[in-house]
Structure 1
Amino acid sequence: YDSVVTTVTKVSVKAGRSLSIPCLYGTQYRNHVKYLCKGSRWRSCSYAIKTNERQKSKKFSISDDKDQRIFTVTMRELTNEDSHFWCFVENNNGPDDGEYFHLSVTTGPPILRTHSVTTVTKVSVKAGRSLSIPCLYGTQYRNLVKYLCKGYRWRSCSYVIKTDGQRKPKKFSISDDKDQNFTVTLSGLKLESGGWYLCSSGEYQMPVHLSVYGKPTSSKSPCICCFQPALEPLLFARFCKSQR
């Protein structure tokens, strides 16, 4: 099944939490209907939410950025029954086009889970500043390579930096404390640095959206906690309090 819709492949999240997934589509689909479909098979999955319908669902929401050619689906109060999904666009000339992603919903503290990678969902920083992004991982990934990748799809995103030293640009750094936490620091951020990134290790990825705004500043101090503690209590407790 050849698709021109791309997204993440595997994501892990704690039960009861919310998660936003970016779905990129081709220019030919800019004005087409987009939707989230639930189920393991694309021919028999069921609609969760669509861009051309009034959004009444408390569990799902969807937005479409036609300039960036990305539609974003947000899922709330996730349970272990929320495992198989498709990002789809309607195709007026044939079968709808879509990409599958798998959601692993866990119970208990996610940083203690064997199979998981997690990070903040959205960060915002002023142009010219530095930013530190904390990424937590499960015990199975302690000795594996960790990396930050720019893009929406694991197999085709562009590596920003890796812990194995194969990718170490001057303005970026990465550290792994081997205690289920690795941190990526991005320096001298520009407006064009904004967009979607994947915090990854092993087969799991977690998307994080970076917004860069305003006129450049010369501040050298990294923005360590550019996210809301109420939305990311686990990361705030583990990472931010020790940095402030």
Structure 2
Amino acid sequence: MALYLRILYIITGLTGIEVSVKTGKSISIPCLYESKYKNHVKYLCEGYTWGSCRYAVKTNKPDPSGKYSISDDKNQQIFTVTIKQLAYENADYWCVVEINNGPDHGKYFKLSVTSWTPSLYVDHQRITGYIGENITIRCRHSYSGKMKWCRLGYHCVTGSSGSIDGAAVTTHMSKPNVFTVTMSGLKSENSGWYWCAKGDIQIPVYLNVTEKPITSKYSKLNYTFCRVPFDLKILIIPLSLLIVAIIVAFLIWFIIKQSKCY
């Protein structure tokens, strides 16, 4: 690791901001980097200042405790860090790209961990939408004020309508302190990280756009074979009489046949 961290805009997006999260929960933070760094090691460093920053997890060195995890999407040039079981305290972190023979590149972000309702949150941080359909995201916040919906590394929709990568976006306050975002006409390229923002506080949301599963109407039918209750004991007497009748008939036939022979 380099002796110091050069703070540049090499990593952009959800960095240099604050994310509010409830104690005991998990949070995933996406960190965007330039394409020339896609084969470099990425890591999460914990600490407010670089001098006190310590490794939490690296792409080439997993965290044995399981509290931290990291994944690198080289196609989108985004590495994602996940922090689990957050304690009731503010936590300072750095998203960092390791530079060989030079200072590492990174950006700072802060987790504001509270035992109360977070100041900005979503019900689900990862959601699934289907190609050609719509998806609605509700960003819940504690304070009134202007909000925006952005794609990581791209532009934001700050008004009541706009578009992101070909998908129409409409926003409104569906109820007090609920900022509702609807994306229409989804395409596969709309998959990726987005975020709701209110001032310096943001919450990342991952949208996975895929083909809608095809369900046959016949797969929903339940074929039930009716079973009529049947007691074999009711056949014992008739079967017994039938067997006796057959035996008697055979004996009579045998006697008649024998008498004819004489």
Distance in 2, Cα, partners of 1:62 & 1:109: 26
**Residue from 102, 110, 116 that aligns with 2:110:** 102
Match of 1:220?
Answer: none
**Residue from 66, 70, 81 that aligns with 1:73:** 81
Give the CA deviation at 1:179.
2.0
Distance in 2, Cα, partners of 1:150 & 1:74: 19
1:46-85 → structure 2 map (5 Å cutoff): 46-85=54-93
Give the CA deviation at 1:81.
3.3
Match of 2:25, SS state, is: coil
Q: Is 1:7–1:87's contact at 8 Å kept on the other side of the alignment?
A: no
Match of 1:4?
Answer: 10
Percent identical: 45
Match of 1:18?
Answer: 26
Match of 2:231?
Answer: none
Higher Rg:
2
Q: Is 1:127–1:216's contact at 8 Å kept on the other side of the alignment?
A: no
Match of 1:108, SS state, is: coil
Bigger helix fraction = 2
Match of 2:203?
Answer: 206
Segments of structure 2 that go 5 or more residues without pairing to the other structure are 1-6, 215-262
Q: Is 1:5–1:97's contact at 8 Å kept on the other side of the alignment?
A: yes
Render the CA deviation track for 1:142-161: whole Å, top value 9, x for unaligned: 1x112211115xxxx41135
Q: Is 2:89–2:114's contact at 8 Å kept on the other side of the alignment?
A: no
Distance in 1, Cα, partners of 2:9 & 2:197: 23
Q: Is 1:14–1:107's contact at 8 Å kept on the other side of the alignment?
A: yes
Q: Is 1:161–1:172's contact at 8 Å kept on the other side of the alignment?
A: no
Alpha-carbon RMSD: 2.1
Match of 1:196?
Answer: 193
**Residue from 173, 176, 186 that aligns with 2:173:** 176
Structure 1 residue identity aligned to 2:191: G
Match of 1:81, SS state, is: coil
Give the CA deviation at 1:203.
1.9
Distance in 2, Cα, partners of 1:54 & 1:146: 36
Structure 2 residue identity aligned to 1:29: Y
Distance in 2, Cα, partners of 1:161 & 1:129: 22
Q: Is 1:196–1:207's contact at 8 Å kept on the other side of the alignment?
A: yes
Q: What's the TM-score, normalizing by structure 1?
A: 0.76
Match of 1:28, SS state, is: helix
Count matched residues.
202
Does 2:96 match 1:88? Answer: yes
Segments of structure 1 that go 5 or more residues without pairing to the other structure are 111-115, 218-244
Distance in 2, Cα, partners of 1:28 & 1:10: 27
Distance in 1, Cα, partners of 2:86 & 2:203: 15
Q: Is 2:132–2:185's contact at 8 Å kept on the other side of the alignment?
A: yes
Q: Is 2:43–2:97's contact at 8 Å kept on the other side of the alignment?
A: yes
**Higher mean Cα deviation, 168-177 or 47-56?**
168-177
Q: Is 1:161–1:173's contact at 8 Å kept on the other side of the alignment?
A: no
Q: Is 2:89–2:112's contact at 8 Å kept on the other side of the alignment?
A: no
Structure 1 residue identity aligned to 2:147: K
Render the CA deviation track for 1:40-61: whole Å, top value 9, x for unaligned: 1124300101111144122111
